Structure 1
Amino acid sequence: MMAFQRIHSLLLLVLTLLELVLVRPSYGQNRMFQRFLRQHVDPQGAGGNDGYCNLMMQRRRMTQNQCKRVNTFIHEDIWNIRSICSTTNIPCKNGRMNCHEGVVKVTDCRETGSSRAPNCRYRATTSPRRVVIACDGSPELPVHFDR
């Protein structure tokens, strides 16, 4: 089972890198896409508990200087997340019209309020729910988790 998970992880990494080579996003778009992946995408994770949030927030470098108050991890592969970019445009919180919505399995991590960086503590909530992401470029790639 462990060997299968390693092969699956390696395959996902290769597919993501291949996509980046074939898609050739602009430098700024690529940087924002990479940040989106680091902060919000965990296709293998099941999430679900506070320990998951504590570990992932630290691993993904969101607790170094201060505790990020809220973060959402999407438990879908990047192809499913990218397909959200092809749905109808809706307004983002900032008023731009480059947001799209879809339903995915997520873990929301909320800082407890009683911790200090770098030892931030989080409460986890896992569920399938509607998310809104901003997409940019041609082809469109997810670059921001809106809500």
Structure 2
Amino acid sequence: MDIHKIFQYILFITLFIIAQSFSMWGQFVTLPYKELSMWQAYKMAIPFAWLDWLFMTFTIYVGDKYELVTPTQDTFLLIIIQFTLILLINQYYLKQKIYRSDIIAFFVILLGFFISFNHIISNIFNITIPAHPATSVSKT
């Protein structure tokens, strides 16, 4: 892997984490305030959604332009980053304890991704893995 590809991945991951940080923060920012009206909560949360949209637009652009990840990998990355951010927000913003079961759940999710990605169950039971037709996007 050349140095340019490494920088592209670093840019992609950084933008992805920033976008999802805004998204998760927007979803959790109003939770400590028990007396907010729907409109007040909306006014507090919507700027985070806009920032998420802005950063995620650039994230997807970088990922597509340099062909860094597939849509499935995007989804896996989204789930992993959001789960991690939720744990951090719960711990430091909402002051809730993170339990062992939270950490175990995270690794169960990672294990599920590994099993799915490598077709482990299909290989064990000799189940045919259907070929996915190559999807090519016309760059016109």
Same fold (TM over 0.5): no
**Which structure's residues are more often helix, by fraction?**
2
Taking structure 2 as the reference length, the TM-score comes to: 0.28
**Which structure's residues are more often strand, by fraction?**
1
Taking structure 1 as the reference length, the TM-score comes to: 0.27
